[in-house]
Amino acid sequence: MTDQTLTTGRSLSEFTAQLASAQPAPGGGGAAALAGALAASLAAVVSQKLLPRRDGKGRVGAYEVLIMTAALRNLIREGHTQQIRSFMQTGSRLGMQTMEQAVEMLQRTGKI
C-alpha cells in the first residue's frame, strides 16, 4: 500500500480527472497509458479538510473518500472522469462521500 500526500484545493473528482486528462504523460507515453496505469493502481483516495469545531476546542476532520470499483476503473480508463463525482455521491454503502456530504454531516451532528 502506498500512502501519498498531495496538497490541493480541488475535489478528488477534479484531481483524478486532471491526472487522467489528455495531457501527455511525463517521460513519454500517451494520456491513455497514464489513465490506464492510474485506474489499475488506485485502491482508494482520501482528501481531508480540518475545520474549526463549533465549541472552539480545536479542529475536526472532514473527509472526502473515493473507493475504486471496477466501474470507476473503466470510467478513468475511458476518460469519463466527469462521472466520478456522481459515483461518490451514491457510493455511501461502499464508504464513499464527497467533501460536501462530509461537511453536511458534521453540521447535522453539531460538530461544526
Residue 108 corresponds to which cell in the numbers above?
A: 447535522
Quick one: 75 exposed, middle or buried, by C-beta within 10 A (0-12, 13-18, 19+)? buried
pLDDT per position as a tens digit, 19-78: 556 555 555 556 666 677 777 778 888 999 999 999 999 999 999 999 999 999 888 888
| CB contact at 8 A, 44 and 3 | no
